[in-house]
Amino acid sequence: MGRVYNFSPGPAVLPPQVMEQAQAEFLDWGGTGISVMEVSHRSPEFMDLAAQSEADLRELLAISENYKVLFLQGGATLQFAAVPLNLATPDQVADYVVTGSWGKKAKTEASRFVQVNVAADAAASHYTTVPNPATWRVTDNAAYLHCTPNETIAGVEMHSIPEVSEAPVVADMSSTLLSRPVDVSRFGLIYAGAQKNIGQAGLTVVIVREDLIGHAVAQTPGVADYRVMADSDSMWNTPATYSWYMASLVFKWLKAQGGLESMAQRNDAKSVKLYSAIDATDFYTNPVEFEYRSRMNIPFTLPDAALDSIFVKESKAAGLINLKGHRSVGGLRASIYNAMPEEGVDALVAFMADFEARHG
Amino acid sequence: MGRVYNFSPGPAVLPPQVMEQAQAEFLDWGGTGISVMEVSHRSPEFMDLAAQSEADLRELLAISENYKVLFLQGGATLQFAAVPLNLATPDQVADYVVTGSWGKKAKTEASRFVQVNVAADAAASHYTTVPNPATWRVTDNAAYLHCTPNETIAGVEMHSIPEVSEAPVVADMSSTLLSRPVDVSRFGLIYAGAQKNIGQAGLTVVIVREDLIGHAVAQTPGVADYRVMADSDSMWNTPATYSWYMASLVFKWLKAQGGLESMAQRNDAKSVKLYSAIDATDFYTNPVEFEYRSRMNIPFTLPDAALDSIFVKESKAAGLINLKGHRSVGGLRASIYNAMPEEGVDALVAFMADFEARHG
């Protein structure tokens, strides 16, 4: 099949330069004579890769020395449990701000390990906005405040974290980390599954302030204990070496692109183009409140849901794939992570105009 | 670098045919126009891969319908915790047979979730044998009996599991699963990290009898709860898709090789060759009791430990890499998993004779 633009919400498109390098050295990595996936994680070659990848990530995000960076398995979903297990005792309260499906899942999982207070929930708006921070009901002395800055299904993004609590802020940044600069010092802990902007599924990046490490309850599995994993440089057990390698290539690619300021500009430009196309006609609709629209995941609906499957079919034929909306909300959705080039958005916008002309 | 033979204990050598196919379709998988690592786990294409891989594994191991097969993240090390969390309550007793470093780690991790009884421990022999099953002190009504049929560091293999307990047998088969036929019906649960004979690091296969599913204690993270993962076909969260894909290729390769009987014959032949070379001279020594010698990991020592680094250096120059013994025991070690061809063992045996001639 020829060149396609992949709008998958995750696992998602990866940079072509990264993919081509990975393919070229698939059988012989760095002169070792074997694949990086056949190399011991404790070999000098892989230890170098691990150290360099951490240094690159620290540089990209300007992470200060008082944070540890972990490269773990288990997905962001294991972190839904690891966060309360490490940061709270079962009788403490943790505040959760729920602005979509992922925040809801995080809250539900956490409720088995900590007393959860839902400080805010955007359910009444069908997750098309973020509740006004002035209305958030935070708890005094909460163990932490959890939020999900970008919700991939409804396409809602909290572009900054309001200062409404003294508690450490914990953020699931699976779908935004590395898409723009982040002031890491505003957070106690950031975690992110890799399969959007970092690399492939199977790796989770955790950035955690040192004072929050070392307090895991006794019933924490070792692989979810930040002290255990930090003390072993994420190698208490065999890490997901190939996923880590792919992330290391993506970090280098991001640096070559000019870093996160540059990515933010490109992502802004891409999302503005697509939202403009949606807003320019009544044929396409995005229901999210303007200031909370996601720059990563852009859902839209057609005037008649019966057209959805035709849109998916015809766009696929045009080389624009994986545009079907999440099964829980229907419609269409374009995920335009870092690795989606502006040309991909241009092609989608052109297709949308053509589709409207034929079906509008 | 030219062709090398990779004796790494894991991550380890993978079949060349598998690696070449993976490289060839790295950028365009099955006509999708994108890499398998850029495809959604919920796409029809990946769902087909997942279903076919499970069917292939079931065929290879003749797994009956009353077992579930799971493809998880977190490594065998997460299973060290998941097993007690799912199969026991904190006040129940679980029996552990410790025949090496991995069994010891499994026991230590489990002791935070269940009452551990060490039914047998080969420490007194420096893990060079398996304690006589007649001496195992099993517990009446134990929740389960845990063992590690192959220990990779000392190279000790329990070639069959004695029937000494009524409790379900749980086995960490990270280093032997798929190296020979296994009577799965003898086990309540088998788990295996993929990075030896199954594929690459980042995937863990769990084969669990249905009646043992559904009893996880409340404090079990969802990704470690067999009911949650079985009900979702291992897709409660995003699985490690590329690792799963690599395993699917290995399963097909194993079928093309004639299945596990054929692999067992080859692995027997390879290990006999190497042990014969070791036993034929006093220059090389393997301390493991004959009937418990591993067919996967073959450690050996030299008459003078000062020769170890020379052996490692010269063997590497000869294209025989990763032969250094584990840091906890020193010496040398050859791991000869499924993907190590007999020619690799021949080359190692020839090198050993030459090395002895020069340094003996």
**DSSP characters over B19-65:** HHHHHHTSSS-TTSSS-GGGS-TTSHHHHHHHHHHHHHHHHHHT--T
Which are the contacts of B335, defined by CB distance < 8 A and separation ≥ 6?
B7, B8, B9, B10, B12, B152, B196, B296, B297, B298, B322
Q: Is the dihedral of CA B74, B76, B77, B83 positive or negative?
A: positive
At residue A1, does pLDDT exceed 70? no
Kindly indicate the confidence band of residue A268, based on its pLDDT and cuts at 50, 70 and 90. Answer: very high
Amino acid identity for residue B235 in this structure: M
What are the φ and ψ backbone dihedral angles of B188, each rounded to 5 degrees? -80, -35
Catalytic residues of B: 102, 172, 196
DSSP A37: G
- Determine whether the interchain pair B242/A241 forms a contact, defined as Cβ–Cβ distance below 8 Å: no
Task: Please tell me the total number of residues recorded for chain A in this structure.
Answer: 360
In contact, B177 and B57? CB cutoff 8 Å: no
Q: What's the pLDDT score for residue A25?
A: 97
Rounded distance between C-alpha atoms, residue B230 and residue B244, angstroms: 16
- The residues that bridge with B169 in the sheet, in sequence order, are B145
Amino acid identity for residue A10 in this structure: G
Give A51-108 as a DSSP string. Answer: HHHHHHHHHHHT--TTEEEEEESSHHHHHHHHHHHHH--TTSEEEEEE-SHHHHHHHH
For B199-234, b/e burial (b = at least 16 CB within 10 A) is bbbbbbbbbbbeebbebbbebbbbbbbbebbbeebb
Rounded distance between C-alpha atoms, residue A277 and residue A109, angstroms: 38
Average pLDDT over residues A155-181: 95
Partner residue facing B37 (CB), from A11, A73, A240? A11
**Both tokens assigned to A41:** 């994680």
In contact, B134 and B280? CB cutoff 8 Å: no
Q: Is A215 left (phi over 0), alpha (psi -120 to 50) or beta?
A: alpha
Going by C-alpha positions, the residue among A161, A123, A241 that lies closest to residue A173 is A161
Give A300-325 as a DSSP string. Answer: EB-SSGGGHHHHHHHHHHTTEE--BP
DSSP B303: S
CA-based nearest residue in chain A for residue B200: A37
What distance, in Å, lies between the first and last C-alpha atoms of chain A? 30
At residue A247, does pLDDT exceed 70? yes
Going by C-alpha positions, the residue among A239, A230, A179, A181 that lies closest to residue A209 is A230
For A333-343, b/e burial (b = at least 16 CB within 10 A) is bbbbbbbbbee
Q: Which residues of A touch B240 (CB under 8 A)?
A: 73, 201-202, 240, 243
Distance from CA of B315 to the nearest CA of A (A): 14
The architecture in CATH of the region B31-256 reads 3-Layer(aba) Sandwich (3.40)
Amino acid identity for residue B305 in this structure: A
Q: Which residues of B touch A113 (CB under 8 A)?
A: 219
Average pLDDT over residues A212-238: 97
Rounded distance between C-alpha atoms, residue B249 and residue B17, angstroms: 9
Q: What's the pLDDT score for residue B2?
A: 59
Give A65-117 pLDDT, tens digit per residue.
999 999 999 999 999 999 999 999 999 999 999 999 999 999 999 999 999 99
Classified as helix, coil or strand, B107 is: helix
In contact, A200 and A182? CB cutoff 8 Å: no
Q: Is B181 left (phi over 0), alpha (psi -120 to 50) or beta?
A: beta
CA-based nearest residue in chain A for residue B10: A40
- Which class is A17-256 in CATH? alpha beta
Q: Is B40 left (phi over 0), alpha (psi -120 to 50) or beta?
A: beta
Domain locations along chain A: 17-256, 259-359
Distance from CA of A143 to the nearest CA of B (A): 18
B258-359 adopts what CATH topology?
A: Aspartate Aminotransferase, domain 1 (3.90.1150)
Best residue in B18, B25, B36, B37 for a mutation probing chain A (most A CBs within 10 Å):
B37
Partner residue facing A242 (CB), from B9, B40, B242? B242
In contact, A321 and B33? CB cutoff 8 Å: yes
Q: What's the pLDDT score for residue A2?
A: 59
B343 burial type by CB count under 10 A (0-12 exposed, 13-18 middle, 19+ buried): exposed
Kindly indicate the confidence band of residue A3, based on its pLDDT and cuts at 50, 70 and 90. Answer: confident
Task: Please tell me the total number of residues recorded for chain B in this structure.
Answer: 360
Distance from CA of B60 to the nearest CA of A (A): 23
- Determine whether the interchain pair B201/A242 forms a contact, defined as Cβ–Cβ distance below 8 Å: yes
In contact, A27 and A221? CB cutoff 8 Å: no
Rounded distance between C-alpha atoms, residue B33 and residue B40, angstroms: 13
Partner residue facing B223 (CB), from A75, A201, A241? A75
Which are the contacts of B275, defined by CB distance < 8 A and separation ≥ 6?
B286, B293, B298
Going by C-alpha positions, the residue among B173, B53, B34 that lies closest to residue B106 is B173
Query: Residues in chain B with pLDDT < 70?
Result: 1-2
Q: Has A196 been annotated as catalytic?
A: yes
- Determine whether the interchain pair B14/A37 forms a contact, defined as Cβ–Cβ distance below 8 Å: yes
Distance from CA of B280 to the nearest CA of A (A): 30
Q: What's the pLDDT score for residue B101?
A: 96
Going by C-alpha positions, the residue among A182, A126, A180 that lies closest to residue A155 is A126
Pick the CATH number of A259-359 from 3.30.43.10, 3.40.50.1000, 3.90.1150.10, 1.10.1060.10: 3.90.1150.10
In contact, A294 and A287? CB cutoff 8 Å: no
- Determine whether the interchain pair B77/A223 forms a contact, defined as Cβ–Cβ distance below 8 Å: yes
Average pLDDT over residues A3-9: 93
**Both tokens assigned to B150:** 């192959």
Rounded to two decimals, the ipTM of the complex is 0.97
Q: What's the pLDDT score for residue A190?
A: 98
Alpha helices in chain B (DSSP H): 16-24, 44-61, 75-87, 101-110, 226-231, 241-256, 259-279, 308-317, 342-359
- Determine whether the interchain pair B221/A223 forms a contact, defined as Cβ–Cβ distance below 8 Å: no
A312 burial type by CB count under 10 A (0-12 exposed, 13-18 middle, 19+ buried): middle
Q: Is the pTM of this model over 0.80?
A: yes
Partner residue facing A33 (CB), from B4, B73, B222? B4
- Determine whether the interchain pair B1/A74 forms a contact, defined as Cβ–Cβ distance below 8 Å: no
- Determine whether the interchain pair B2/A33 forms a contact, defined as Cβ–Cβ distance below 8 Å: yes
- Determine whether the interchain pair A78/B221 forms a contact, defined as Cβ–Cβ distance below 8 Å: yes
Q: Which residues of A touch B237 (CB under 8 A)?
A: 75-78
C-alpha Rg value of chain B to the nearest Å? 21
- Determine whether the interchain pair B218/A112 forms a contact, defined as Cβ–Cβ distance below 8 Å: yes
DSSP B172: E
Task: Report which secondary-structure segment, H or E, holds A333.
Answer: strand A332-335
Distance from CA of A280 to the nearest CA of B (A): 30
- B31-256 and B258-359 in the same fold: no
Rounded distance between C-alpha atoms, residue B40 and residue A12, angstroms: 7
